Amino acid sequence: MVDYKIPRCQIVPEADSQTSFTLDGMELFRWHYGGQYPRPFLHPVNGPSGANLVRMGHPGAPNHDHHAGIWFAHNSIESFDFWANGTGTQIRQRQWLDYIEGDDYAAMAVILDYYDGHEDRPLLNQQTVVALRPLANGEYLIEFQLELQSTHGVVNLNQTNYGIIAVRVGASIAEHFGGGRLTNSDGQVTEANIFGRPSAYMDYSGPVRATNGVQVINGITLHDHKSNPSYPSKWHVREDGWMGPSINRDASIQLTQSEALRLRYQLHIHDKWIDRKEAVKIHRDFNLSKPWSISKSTQKHRSWEINREF
């Protein structure tokens, strides 16, 4: 009999175009990429308490249904809006490339294509890595690496507040609808003090009901990476429960066929209110970490490989 030990961190493809990220057999978060959606997203994203920390849509505004858990989108690519629903645009997953599993981390690589609703071919593509790394006491990290590249000619990411990653927290975590609090890397709090200001990271923490029924505090810290062109990004944040760094707040960015734009972000899913000393350490470690690479595999029964660059 083969001596085999199931990895702690696993990626489990599910029916209906969903992929589950698990730790010790328990789901932490789920990737949705079905063609019925305008774009892929993560939902649920379960905190150390077992409660889902993100939400589908705005608690009070039906015209914000494009707020889907944790998602990627952009308000102005050339003349097309990939942010809102109902614009005719769509971000589709073309294919998955690799799943890697282990005790210390698991990672998934996929290719997303941006369709403007007018041309049969995509306007640009996005090679995407999503990685899970468990921490102590039920906390964990979700790392995103996005590599955007034009499929033909120059494509402009125009100046806008909206794009390219965003988080919609649960209503109980929101400042307005619940008992939550926004905090930036300078320790400033509330939307009024933070909106539009540069920050290395942003945290949204607040009360949730744990799986045992007890009310506790959980939160999400979204870290910008120093290699991103807008770092430290200016943030679009709202007391109604969402946050996102704006890569094009002050200037447009051109994408070409010859060189991909690499963007890196990391989320810390944590217990209690933000611990700023811990946030500083996690941010420093993230900035020092190497990016991911995806290459053709030479292994048996494997087409592609995800690896850390050296």
pLDDT in tens, 134-172: 999 999 999 999 999 999 999 999 999 999 999 999 999
The predicted structure's pLDDT at residue 309:
80
Residue 283 is inside which H or E element, if any? helix 276-288
Q: Please report which confidence band the pLDDT of residue 106 belongs to, taking 50, 70 and 90 as the band edges.
A: very high
CATH class of 10-290: mainly beta
* Residues 6+ positions from 98 with CB-CB distance below 8 Å: 107, 108, 109, 294, 297, 302, 303, 304, 305, 306
User: Residue 54 pLDDT > 80, yes or no?
Assistant: yes
DSSP H or E segment with residue 205: strand 201-209
Report helix, strand or coil for 285.
Answer: helix
pTM exceeds 0.95: yes
**Bridge partners of residue 218, in order along the sequence:** 206, 271
DSSP state of 46: B
Q: How confident is the model at residue 2 (pLDDT cuts 50, 70, 90)?
A: confident
Q: What is the pLDDT of residues 207-247, one digit of tens each?
A: 999 999 999 999 999 999 999 999 999 999 999 999 999 99
- Evaluate the omega torsion of the peptide bond into residue 207 and state whether it is cis, within 30 degrees of 0: no
28, 47 Cβ separation under 8 angstroms = no
Cα 248 to Cα 77: distance, rounded to the nearest angstrom: 11
- Mean pLDDT across the chain, nearest whole number? 97
Mean pLDDT score, 20-48: 98
> DSSP characters for 209-240?
E-TTS-EEEEEEEEEE-TTSTTSSPEEEEETT
> Which pLDDT score is estimated for 40?
98
What does the pLDDT average to over 256-281? 97
Does an H or E element contain 276, and which? helix 276-288
Give mean pLDDT, residues 189-196.
97
> Tokens at residue 98, please?
């690799």
**Percent of the chain surpassing pLDDT 70:** 99
pLDDT for 102 equals 97
For the chain, percent of residues with pLDDT exceeding 90: 96
The residues pairing with 253 across neighbouring beta strands, listed in sequence order, are 157
pLDDT of 227 reads 98
Q: Could you state, in order of their start, the residue ranges of all structural domains in the chain?
A: 10-290
Return the H-helix or E-strand segment holding 280: helix 276-288
Q: Which two tokens stand for residue 224?
A: 């910008």
pLDDT category of residue 1 using cuts at 50, 70 and 90: low
